[in-house]
Every structure is written in structure tokens, then in C-alpha cells.
Amino acid sequence: MEVEVEETTEDVDVISRIHHEVASLSHMYYNFTGGLQELAPPMSVRGEAVKVESDTSVEYNAQELATQIVDAHKKIDKLIDRLEEAGASEEEDVRSLVDLQERHERMKEAYSKDVEQGDQVFDAIQDCYSLLAEYQLKHGKFDPGPSSSS
């Protein structure tokens, strides 16, 4: 027996999505910092002359990276706003918890039935192997033949 799990966008855990987006943003900061360091023009350490070739890719890449970071922040802000909007009343929270508990109980019952059915199938397969092995033994299929000892 299979229990269908209804999943809508409202069922998705917003906090987990925020956590994922913040982790992604952290990776972006880390990777972008390394990328900018790699693309940055050389700087003078002791006042020596440094030849700098005209390269607009650094500015373009910095702008592109900044755009991606701003977009990530906007996505996080929208998720946080959605979290604030989701502030339900205590009655709605209780009703939601009761619904989730009932769904959990149905799934647990279905799981128990599936495990029981799996045990029965496993026992039947074991019985078949036992019959096959018994048949093989009766008809000498496992006879190793003459031993080849030196």
C-alpha cells in the first residue's frame, strides 16, 4: 500500500530554504573573493614600478559578481518576508500539527504493512531456496566428484 505525500510550495520548509540560500551566499563570497584576487592587477609592494596592462575584464567580472551577490540577497529577503507573512494563528498552528501527526501515523501504518509484506516475500523466497537446495542434494548435484588429492 502506498501513501501519497502531498507536497506544495507552501509545504516546503522556508527556514531550510533560507539556510540553503545563506550557505550558497557564503560560498559565493568565498569564491568571488578568490576570483577577484586572481583577476586583480598587480600592486606595488615597495614602490617599484608595476606594469599594468589595460584589462576591463576585472571591472566586468567585479560588476557581474556584485550583481549575483545582490540577487542572492534579494532572494533571501523574499524568503524572510514570506516567513514573516506565514505567521499563522495558534489555532492554525495546532491544526497544522494535528494534520501532520495524522499524516505521520498513516505513513507509519503503511510502512509497517509494507515491512510485513516484505517479510512474507522474504520468507517465501527462503522457502523456495530451501526446496531447491534439498532437491539438489537428493539428486547429487552438489557431489564434488572424485577428489583430486596428490
Per residue in 118-141, pLDDT (tens digit) is 999 999 999 999 998 888 888 876
From first CA to last CA, the distance across the chain in angstroms is: 60
Q: Tell me how far apart the alpha carbons of residues 42 and 106 are, in angstroms, rounded to a whole number.
A: 65
Amino acid 70: pLDDT: 94
pTM of the model: 0.44
Amino acid 144: pLDDT: 58
What value does the mean pLDDT take over residues 13-22?
87
Cα atoms found within 13 Å of the Cα of residue 47, Cβ hemisphere only: 0
For the stretch 26-30, contacts whose Cβ atoms lie closer than 8 Å and that sit 24 or more positions apart, written own/partner, are 28/65, 28/68, 28/69, 28/72, 29/69
**81 or 61, which is more confident:** 81
* pLDDT above 50 for 113: yes
Q: Tell me how far apart the alpha carbons of residues 53 and 41 are, in angstroms, rounded to a whole number.
A: 8
Domain boundaries defined on the chain: 11-43+55-87, 89-143
The proportion of the chain whose per-residue pLDDT surpasses 90, expressed as a percent, equals: 35
Sign of CA dihedral 122, 128, 130, 133: negative
* pLDDT band at residue 13 under the 50/70/90 scheme: confident
The answer to whether 18 and 80 have CB atoms below 8 angstroms apart is yes
pLDDT tens, position by position, 63-111:
888 899 999 999 999 988 887 666 667 787 788 889 999 999 999 999 9
Closest C-alpha to 76, from 6, 16, 5 = 16
Amino acid 135: pLDDT: 87
